[in-house]
Structure 1
Amino acid sequence: MHRMKIKRIIDISGTISDRTTLWPGDEGVTLDRIQNIESGDSCNLSVLRMGTHTSTHVDAPLHFVAGGADTASVNLNKFIGFAKVFNLSTQDCIKASDLYPLNINVGDIVLFKTKNSFLDMNGLFHKGFVYLDESAARFLADKKVATVGIDYLSVESFYADNAVTHKLLLQNEIGIIEGLRLKDVQEGEYFLSCVPLKIEGADGSPVRAVLVEFD
């Protein structure tokens, strides 16, 4: 049996800490050490508290679809498999017209690298991040892609009031990955691993997202 040799693993996750950039109104990250070797305990043991949409994360359909799948029941095929990274770093908003020339097909996992990847994700929230408008979401739904990923905390504009981009994707069973870090990633095809935690009733989950290159 032929085995592919891993050439490189690229971490495309944000670091989670008490400095992590949060969506306005979200609860901050706390990591409390409840047992400590330095205090005489037999081990270090911590309790982590944070929102389900902290840093690099997956949106489950339940986030915007009543009765939708939670992170314990989403189709993992949407978050592990070969993915296409597209460089759209000159756009302020991704529209369908930006996607027409791209090689996007049924079942694809598509990740969009934008100017967002060069923003600092530790500190101030940037309201003017690059996002997908309704036409882009509709185009991707019509294409029946598997998953859409973007390099800030939402696929949708901060100023949107109807969540139409989220709903178009999630109602069409398209996976959403938000908060990717693609600054050092070249356009091309990679193997993606980005599975959410198996949390019953959760509408989202932080993930450790990586891209793998093979020889």
Structure 2
Amino acid sequence: MSATPVTALLDALASAAVKVVDLTQPLSERTPVLQLPPPFENTPPLSRRTLSRYDDRGPMWAWSVLELGEHTGTHFDAPIHWVTGRDGEDVASVPPAKLVGPAVVIDKVAEVERNPGYLLTVDDLHAHEREHGRIPDGAWLLLRTGWESRATDAEAFLNAGPDGPVTPGPDGAAALWLANERAITGFGVETVGTDAGAAGGFDPPFPAHTHLLGAGVYGLTQLANLGELPVTGALIVVAPLKLVDGTGSPTRALALVPA
């Protein structure tokens, strides 16, 4: 029987010619969550209540009730998460083919080490394309900043200063350029949200959410292990819950990478 693309991939996985990289942060009661200032409502962190654990309530099984927000931990943003995408897709409506695609990594670790509030610019995107080629249609663009090193320390991860959080992300022009000039499927980050910490003061506020979700481009946050991905050549698999009317969902994100 002749090989198919799927059997070739299975062979590559079996021979370790392709490896699977987990891009997901562990989800627990200690996972940092977004903190909004009053009067805005905040999402709760993960909490759980045991239903049974091999005891009188269920002698042969263990299970729990979870409470958590849609946007907790490594999570997916659907267009209806933002007012500009309110007429767009909920999580359950996302076509499954869009949850698998090429990953493109833009690396700004050195810049963020010097400036934790670094803003990705259109010039950065042009420079990336001059070196690595045009961002392909259908790609998931992943912004690597080194922020994952803070993921187990909520204070360092959220990095709130006297004037608000200081975290990296795109400036307004970069978010608009990605929404209008490239046909990306999604934009992923290592931080708590796709916008920079200072983005509430931009015009418009929160441009990554405003422009990208408004254009039907999905968000993906709190990623891990982007340093194990090549700039191009990896395949990403994003697996949110198929949540009806969901504005977002905790997500397992994986990448298939040539070894």
Is the structural similarity TM-score above 0.5?
Answer: yes
Q: 2:197 aligns with which of 138, 153, 158?
A: 158
Partner residue, 1:84: 104
Partner residue, 1:33: 50
CA change 1:59–1:8 in 2 (3 A) is same
Partner residue, 1:107: 138
Partner residue, 1:187: 230
Query: Which structure 2 segments of 5+ residues have no match?
Result: 36-41, 112-117, 160-164
Residues 1:170 and 2:190 are matched in the alignment: no
Shift of 1:183: 5.3
Distance 2:168 2:225 in 1: 13
Distance 1:67 1:164 in 2: 18
Shift of 1:133: 1.2
Percent sequence identity over aligned pairs: 24
Shift of 1:187: 3.2
Partner residue, 1:133: 171
Give 1:207's aligned amino acid.
T
Partner residue, 1:46: 64
Residues 1:202 and 2:246 are matched in the alignment: yes
- SS of structure 1 residue aligned to 2:92: coil
Q: Does structure 2 conserve the Cα–Cα contact (< 8 Å) formed by 1:111 and 1:150?
A: yes
Give 1:45's aligned amino acid.
W
Shift of 1:122: 4.4
Task: Return the structure number with greater helix share.
Answer: 2
Normalising by the residue count of structure 1, what TM-score does the alignment of the two structures yield?
A: 0.91
Query: Which structure 1 segments of 5+ residues have no match?
Result: none
Root-mean-square deviation over aligned CA pairs: 1.8
CA change 1:46–1:193 in 2 (3 A) is same
Shift of 1:181: 1.0
Residues 1:23 and 2:34 are matched in the alignment: yes
Q: Deviations over 1:145-167 (max 9, x none)?
A: 12111111111123323222212
Shift of 1:74: 1.5
Aligned positions, number: 215
Give 1:78's aligned amino acid.
K
CA change 1:21–1:155 in 2 (3 A) is same
Normalising by the residue count of structure 2, what TM-score does the alignment of the two structures yield?
A: 0.77
CA change 1:109–1:30 in 2 (3 A) is same
